[in-house]
Amino acid sequence: MSLEVQCFNCNGKFTLEHSDPQYAKIKTKQTKYYVCKSCNSSIKGEAIKQTGFDPKLLDPKGYDKLVP
Q: Which residues bind Zn ion (CB under 5 A)?
A: 7, 9-10, 12, 36, 39
**Rounded to the nearest whole angstrom, what is the least distance from the CB of residue 46 to Zn ion in the complex?**
13
CB of 52: closest distance to Zn ion in angstroms? 19
| Closer residue to Zn ion (CB): 7 or 47 | 7
Residue closer to Zn ion (CB basis): 11 or 28: 11
Q: Which of 46, 48, 26 is nearest to 35 (CA)?
A: 26
Comparison of 5 and 36: residue with beta carbon closer to Zn ion: 36
Q: Closest approach of Cβ 36 to Zn ion, in Å?
A: 4
DSSP codes of every residue in 4-68? EEEBTTT--EEEEETTSHHHHHHHTTS-S-B--HHHHHHHHHHHHHHH---GGGT-TTTGGGG--
